[in-house]
Amino acid sequence: MIIDLRKFIAEEREFWHNLESILDSLERQPDTKLTIEQVKQFHDLYHRASADLARIMTFSAEPAIRHYLESLVSRAYGEIHETTERQQRFNIRAWLFGTLPQTFRRHFALFMLSLAIMIGGGIFGGIAVGLDSEAKEVILAYPHLQVDPTKRVAFEEESGKNPLDGQKVTFSSYLMTHNIKVSILTMALGMTFGVGTVILLFSNGVLLGAVIADYILAGQAAFLAGWLLPHGAVEIPAILIAGQAGLLLASAIIGWKGHQGLTMKARLKYITSDLVTLIGGVALMLVWAGVIEGFLSQYHEPVLPYEFKIGLGIMEIALLIIFFTWSGVKKSL
Amino acid sequence: MNKTKTNSLAIKTPEGVIFSLLLASPVTRFLAWAIDFAIITFAVGLTGNVMMLLNIFSADIARGFYIISYFIVSIGYGIALERYMRGQTLGKRLLGLRVMDSQGLHLNFSQIVIRNLLRFVDSLPSLYLVGGVVCLLSKQAQRLGDIAAGTIVVRYPKLAEPNLDQILADKYNSFNQYPHLEARLRQMVTPGQASIALQALLRRNELEPESRIGLYRAIADNLQSLVEFPQEVTEGLSDEQYIRNCVDVLFRAKVTDI
């Protein structure tokens, strides 16, 4: 029932010290690579400490030594059973042209759902502004969107310069960071069983649909397309992918989409890297969209012809479609 | 793995050994976050001052870079430090906390990113109210970010080897003259009682002298009530020495006994 504690400690303490010094060294320098001999020694010491812990837990109620051994074993356990990710170097090219589009395609149904929710919001916003003139005041509650589209177009085309001259970098930086934060929130709200994600996607759709309806009804479709397409062609898909990530998170929480057999913990573990990949792609897209919106979108005719701006937007959409459809597709033999 | 609300998480290794990790309480975590927040604020202020040097070229560029650097520092702080300091930020290190995989393994990068990005929800509406409430309700004291990433925050005191000199001291024990009484003592004393006696000796210097005398008297009386050694070996022995002799008997099996 009670072991010979003195003999036990006297015999084992040297091995505990050796294990502790290896652990200290690994923790001080995480990238340390052990030789085969050192790995073998580390493994043996871990097993010995584990066995000692088992003995002291079974035969004695001595808490100080037990806690000390538990601390050693738990530290060593994390090292011995670590995942292999540490050894793999991050390859940005492989990630960008392989992992990202592959992940997008793997969860394409959720992207379509995200798109459908935003389109639903857009239809609602468009109809609201089209049918009720007072709706514009409520839905488009931003000063620059309250202006009559015809007056704005006349003013912008007459002034012939970017109203953001002297603050383009500031504006562009603000847009990037703000939109990335909103996208992260859209993804993170997947934890609310997707309710928060759906609300954000729908409300973005309402706003977009209301703006589109307002300008089209005012006969300013060309200006609208020239204004929104250059950056919107990338920004809107980015928000949709953030929604896709949010819905993916929600699906893991709820347990649908073919993961019914797994626990929630296992489902979440299964999608963690996909979430990071998707949100990483979103961030890249929003950096690009921010640059375009700050430096190009605010120039209108006669400085920049609408055909050029619309053409640029269409080209971006086409490139995005090509990228997400074919990049990283494994060729069959 | 333990399923009830507890302050520790028991993990069973493939070798069949069970060890426990002490879960950090929401209050300790909040304090660690407050330290990190102060550091981030300082770092952002410092970065802002450096970025203002760009005013030489353009105020627009200086402001733009400041916005971006603020964003990178505030989001990247937790991600970078937990990645390179093995699950610790400066605040967590100061308070002896560490983020770990909920199965006791090291974190992978995806887990670190997800738990940090989900701060956007945990920090709603302010001061981590959502995260704090979820943490209080969670079995493993996890906020939403931890649940999504499969992580836990543990108290990670790096325990030094306990002072074992008292156990290892090799002095003459007069009780050894009565092996049959020693055997009876080993039989009568429960592991719990043995542990109390041992701990009382190991923590000798942590006790106030007055309390120590009282405690040792109570333990010695208890041990004497179980097995009575002859007066010739107990006469003149202090309560403390009596306990030492008993502990020596209890924790040091004779080679001939095996």
* pLDDT reported for residue A83: 54
pLDDT above 80 for A261: no
Q: Which residues of A touch B186 (CB under 8 A)?
A: 1-2
Cβ distance B168 to A6 less than 8 Å, yes or no, reads yes
pLDDT, tens digit, 9 for 90 and up, residues A216-256: 999 999 999 999 999 999 999 999 999 999 999 999 999 87
- Select the residue of B110, B159, B202 nearest A67 (Cβ to Cβ): B159
Residues 186-205 of B with CB under 8 A from A: 186, 191-192, 194-195, 198-199, 202
Mean pLDDT, to the nearest integer, of A141-168? Answer: 81
pLDDT, tens digit, 9 for 90 and up, residues B88-137: 999 999 999 999 999 888 788 999 999 999 999 999 988 889 999 999 99
Cβ distance A272 to B148 less than 8 Å, yes or no, reads yes
Give me the total of CB pairs closer than 8 Å, taking one residue from chain A and one from chain B. Answer: 176
Measured in angstroms, the CA of A272 and the nearest CA of chain B are apart by 6
Alpha helices (H) along chain A? 5-28, 36-59, 63-80, 92-94, 100-106, 108-131, 135-139, 143-146, 149-159, 168-188, 195-217, 221-254, 264-292, 306-326
Selected residue with higher pLDDT from B159 and A298: A298
Mean pLDDT, to the nearest integer, of B146-170? Answer: 75
Selected residue with higher pLDDT from A288 and A35: A288
Which of the listed ranges A125-129, B22-26, B253-257 does the model predict with the highest average pLDDT? A125-129
Query: Which residue type sits at A321?
Result: I
Average pLDDT, chain B: 85
Selected residue with higher pLDDT from B2 and A159: A159
pLDDT above 80 for A42: yes
Q: Residue A129: which of A240, A198, A208 has the closest Cα? A: A208
* pLDDT reported for residue A30: 67
Residue A307 pLDDT level (bands cut at 50, 70, 90): very high
Mean pLDDT, to the nearest integer, of B222-239? Answer: 87
Cβ distance B105 to A68 less than 8 Å, yes or no, reads no
Average pLDDT, chain A: 88
Q: Which residues of B touch A10 (CB under 8 A)?
A: 168
Residue B2 pLDDT level (bands cut at 50, 70, 90): very low
Asked if residue B33 lies in contact with residue B91, where contact means CB atoms within 8 angstroms, the answer is: yes
Q: Which residues of B touch A78 (CB under 8 A)?
A: 100-101, 104-106
Buried b / exposed e over B13-46, threshold 16 CB at 10 Å, is beeebebbbbbbbbebbbbbbebbeebbeeebee
Residue B23 pLDDT level (bands cut at 50, 70, 90): very high
pLDDT above 70 for B255: no
Residue B133 contacts A, CB cutoff 8 Å: no
Cβ distance B150 to A275 less than 8 Å, yes or no, reads no
Query: Hey, where are the domains in chain A?
Result: 5-87, 92-326
Instruction: Please compute, for residue B70, the number of CA atoms within 13 A of its CA located in the half-sphere on the CB side.
Output: 18
Q: Residue A159: which of A292, A302, A307 has the closest Cα? A: A302
pLDDT, tens digit, 9 for 90 and up, residues A107-138: 999 999 999 999 999 999 999 999 988 888 88
pLDDT above 60 for A86: no
* pLDDT reported for residue A1: 44
* pLDDT reported for residue B1: 46
Selected residue with higher pLDDT from B252 and A299: A299
Residue B22 contacts A, CB cutoff 8 Å: no
Measured in angstroms, the CA of A173 and the nearest CA of chain B are apart by 5
Residues 171-200 of A with CB under 8 A from B: 172-174, 176-177, 180-181, 184-185, 187-189, 191-192, 196
* pLDDT reported for residue A61: 52
Please, what sign has the CA dihedral across residues B238, B240, B244, B249?
positive
Selected residue with higher pLDDT from B141 and A63: B141
Mean pLDDT, to the nearest integer, of B43-49? Answer: 90
Cβ distance B161 to A13 less than 8 Å, yes or no, reads yes
Residue A262 contacts B, CB cutoff 8 Å: no
* pLDDT reported for residue A108: 97
pLDDT, tens digit, 9 for 90 and up, residues A55-82: 877 665 566 777 788 888 888 888 887 6
Residue A333 pLDDT level (bands cut at 50, 70, 90): low
* pLDDT reported for residue B237: 84
Q: Which residues of B touch A30 (CB under 8 A)?
A: 84, 86
Residues 86-145 of A with CB under 8 A from B: 86
Selected residue with higher pLDDT from B196 and A302: B196
pLDDT above 50 for B257: no
Angle between helices B191-202 and A63-80 (to 10 degrees): 90
* pLDDT reported for residue B166: 60
